[in-house]
């Protein structure tokens, strides 16, 4: 694997065939949330709902499924420690 290809996989988990194969088995809402996180992250659940145009409950379900598969990670927000933000896991 060339350095350029290796770097792009590190920066963009959606380029990783294994990541894509796991994502393929998940519901459409999880795929949309992953795509939104690929475009812009980290984001809170509320921000994800706003960006994806999905209801909060659907976003929560999608995040749970993505977390179960190890495709999404989370941490507390630096701006508001009461909130968690989500990002694609490498």
Residue 3 pLDDT: 40
Parse the chain into domains and list their residue ranges.
3-88
β-strand pairing of 43-44 with 84-88:
antiparallel
pTM of whole model > 0.95? Answer: no
Q: Does domain 3-88 have CATH number 1.10.3720.10?
A: no
How many alpha carbons lie under 13 Å from residue 87 in its C-beta half-sphere?
Answer: 11
CA distances from 18 to 8, 21, 22, 57 (A): 15, 5, 6, 27
pLDDT in tens, 29-82: 999 999 999 999 899 999 999 999 999 999 999 999 999 999 999 999 998 888
């Amino acid at each position: 694997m060339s350095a350029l290809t290796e770097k792009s996989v590190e920066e963009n988990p959606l380029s990783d065939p294994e990541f894509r194969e796991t994502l393929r088995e998940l519901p459409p809402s999880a795929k949309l949330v992953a795509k939104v996180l690929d475009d812009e992250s980290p984001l809170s659940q509320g921000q994800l709902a706003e960006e994806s145009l999905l209801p909060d409950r659907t976003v929560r379900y999608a995040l749970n499924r993505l977390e179960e598969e190890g495709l999404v990670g989370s941490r507390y927000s630096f701006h508001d420690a009461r909130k968690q933000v989500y990002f694609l896991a490498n």
